[in-house]
């Protein structure tokens, strides 16, 4: 029986751990129902490598930006640079960008400046912003709201594991929350409650591979196929049949990542 189709909205399959088995890994994903994946470039100088992967494999799309933990080590991205990259037909999102005060609080000012550049690029391209946020809830909520008042843009809070207040702030702006393997961990009860209170039409799925593998693979290398394990646990969180939940998340992804949805229609 063919499993319901789902999308891994955030992974890093350009990492060397996948280099020798890319076709096999994509095949395993397809067998699990994961028919699309968005691989994320976190340093713009690595963009050619990520772009080549997307060009070589039909199910793979890509996004690019400067990860907040790299903000102090990389040249500041420019809006024009991001807009130029977005011209590629499989470039579907801006980021990941954001704030990380857990590991790199000392570069907070640079992270905030970089975040605003990426927001401007998302606004101008019409592509969704992909946000990483860790231990920076107050500043993140403030900047997202300030920038939204300057001009609307769309956004997903990738691998959301922050507090309920940031979740509400993002949802109030019309943004999306993405469920990673963390939401399937036994001790993530509070996080599951945050998601369960969110509108079902604002939920995405992801792996963040090779990180954060869900049970039963926790502690091992993650890969796009394992999105299905996160999705099955997530369906239980929402009290939904798995097929119905999978279909809803596909609709959500298509609504937010319109360029990926359009590309699929053309390719078919």
Q: Which residues does the annotation place in the binding site for a divalent metal cation? A: 10, 12, 96, 132, 158, 208
DSSP at 220: S
Distance CA 159, CA 20 (A): 26
Task: Supply the angle between the helices 189-196 and 227-237 in degrees, to the nearest 10.
Answer: 70
Distance CA 71, CA 251 (A): 33
Distance CA 147, CA 149 (A): 5
Integer angstrom CA distances of residue 188 from 3, 121, 135, 215: 26, 34, 17, 12
Q: Which residues does the annotation place in the binding site? A: 10, 12, 96, 132, 158, 208
Integer angstrom CA distances of residue 100 from 11, 135, 217, 261: 18, 6, 26, 30
């Amino acid at each position: 029986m063919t499993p319901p189709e789902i999308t891994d909205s955030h992974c890093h399959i350009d990492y060397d751990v996948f280099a020798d088995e890319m076709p096999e890994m994509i095949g395993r994903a397809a067998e699990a129902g994961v028919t699309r994946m968005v691989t994320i470039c976190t340093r713009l100088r690595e963009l050619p490598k990520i772009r080549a992967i997307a060009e070589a494999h039909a199910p793979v799309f890509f996004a690019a930006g400067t990860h907040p933990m790299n903000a102090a080590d990389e040249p500041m991205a420019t809006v024009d640079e991001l807009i130029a990259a977005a011209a590629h037909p499989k470039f579907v999102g801006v980021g990941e960008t954001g704030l990380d005060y857990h590991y790199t609080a000392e570069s907070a000012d640079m992270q905030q400046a970089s975040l605003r550049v990426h927001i401007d690029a998302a606004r101008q391209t019409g592509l969704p912003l992909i946000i990483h946020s860790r231990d920076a809830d107050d500043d993140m909520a403030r900047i997202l709201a300030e920038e939204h008042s300057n001009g609307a843009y769309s956004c997903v809070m990738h691998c959301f594991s922050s507090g309920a207040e940031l979740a509400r702030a993002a949802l109030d702006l019309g943004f999306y929350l993405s469920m990673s393997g963390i939401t399937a961990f036994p001790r993530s009860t509070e996080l599951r409650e945050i998601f369960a209170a969110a509108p079902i039409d604002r939920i995405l799925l992801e792996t963040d591979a090779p990180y954060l593998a869900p049970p039963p693979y926790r502690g091992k290398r993650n890969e796009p196929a394992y999105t299905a394990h996160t999705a099955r646990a997530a369906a239980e969180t929402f009290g939904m049949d798995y097929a119905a939940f999978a279909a809803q998340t596909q609709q959500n992804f298509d609504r937010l990542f319109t360029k990926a949805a359009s590309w699929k229609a053309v390719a078919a």
